[in-house]
Structure 1
Amino acid sequence: MATTLHFTKGQGTGNDFVLFADPDGEIDLTPAQIADICDRHFGVGADGVIRAVRSRNLPAGEAALSEDPAAEWFMDYSNADGSIAEMCGNGIRVYTRFLLENGLAELAGGDTLVIGTRAGVRDVQSSRTGFQVDLGRWSLDGGEPLVRARELEVARPGLGIDVGNPHVVVAVADDAELDGIDLGYVPQLEPQPTAGANVEFVVPADPLVKDGIGRIRMRVHERGSGETLSCGTGAAAAALGVRHWAGSGAPDQWRVQVPGGVVGVRMFPTEDGEHVALSGPAELAFSGSLELV
């Protein structure tokens, strides 16, 4: 029997999502259905699907509530191929916009909206450009795998960084080399992480630091989605990677240019270690409905 799914299309710096409200956790899309929805030729088209579900109504949400009882809403995120992802930095900003504009949550200036994710609870605040999300404590994780990509003539060492989901950051020589990489093909990592990883190719601006802010340009191949116009957690990982390579004296604020726009990254100390925050726009484009078989 067909089911009607009412959805909204949203995007943050070109990273686009299909969002729908399912507060009671009654709509359980299959990976195949999610892949069909995300198909850009035969479906709505998106980099992923986000279900807005109350945390109490799914097991992963119960874990979020045990971490912070204020996490009423859970961001149930799936990649374009239907696989589950732990976290999405652009997605959580768009998700916040979706909750607010549908009257499911409130966020006054200076307040914090607490959202559950599979990477843990995340705090979101309004910002000058849209929203800022605290991605939590980050870590150097994943070693330095060798990275090969189509049209990248020489394999490069990457830097494994975890910001709630896995990333490998790779430095390239210049804009021409960055533009020449064919990310229609999956970059190959040696050794290959068991759970895969998002791969960011980065080039620094000249000069790297201007007015106390680091500046880099990035392209990304996202695990389960392919090349996207932006990756929020990837931008954070890329800024962390370049700061790591730059050494002491490198700034804690970064401007990351992605094909879909610009996001901001900020590192700051907390009691449980250094956190990294992501800021940028979040917009809802249109709403519609489709029949699921």
Structure 2
Amino acid sequence: MIRRLLLTLWALLLAVPALAAPDTGRFVETDVPSRAFGPIHTVTWLPPGYDRDKARRYPVVYMHDAQNLFFPKRSNFNKVWAADKAALGLIAAHKVAPFIIVGIDHPGPRRYQRYFPDKVADPVFARGIAAKVGPLQGDGYVAFLADELKPLIDRTYRTRPQAKYTATTGSSMGGLISIYLLGERPDVFGKAAAVSTHIPLVDPDTIKARPELADIVKRDWAAWLTTRMGAPRGRKLWMDHGTETLDSNYAPYQTAVDADLRQLGWTDAEFRSRVFQGAAHEENAWAARLPEMWGWLLADWKK
């Protein structure tokens, strides 16, 4: 009797279809050739449904420091932005349409040069920086993203290639290059999130030792924003910083940039600047606010 009952239960269990694992998207890793730098490793996240719905096309977010975006084992500090998790939450809540994330690895010791916004610093200031750290590479990196990587992604995946559907996101020096992309290549990038942006351009201790540099930095930003960034023209920009560790140095510079952008016509509809009290300069803090920043920045990606 007991044996017959157990066999019946076993047969019922076999008849129940296995629960399918939830679709959390998939990752594709590849090395992309570049004219200026040689191969650059990229990590692309394709959202749930990408492989099923062959007719749908997707916006794309390009993110810097790919080592720190998805996988703790690849990260510098064993903590990540969890960018795919933030995207999944926004998509599931119908706040944003499904989108692709392309992460681009930083080059290790040359990260500062690679993400430095060349044209922001005036030529004298830029030459002084380059003399200490080596040739600045920001313009080369912009050209790689806009003219090499993005066309490759558009050929490989079903993207929506227009600038309105192309965003960039990064932190610290990655924040610098994100706002630089928005200003230098508005034909390609229509949205940017510049997080804990290293607006001082150099080490804050250097500025403390030479206080006159603070005015030079603010002047250089004002000149670049006026001549290169200009009015919104359909673009959107998020900027923020915390109040602890390295972020504690950013408030005076962010205030100056905010004023410059407002002067150029950036209203609350196109520009958001946030201060996160108690937040430090690190990935866990950026992960915590990523859903809010993307929820605002990408809000018009609804279909």
Q: Same fold (TM over 0.5)?
A: no
Which of the two has higher C-alpha Rg? Answer: 2
Q: By percentage of residues, which structure has more strand?
A: 1
Give the TM-score, by structure 1 length: 0.32
Q: By percentage of residues, which structure has more helix?
A: 2
Select the structure with the greater relative contact order (CA < 8 A; seq sep ≥ 6): 1
Give the TM-score, by structure 2 length: 0.31
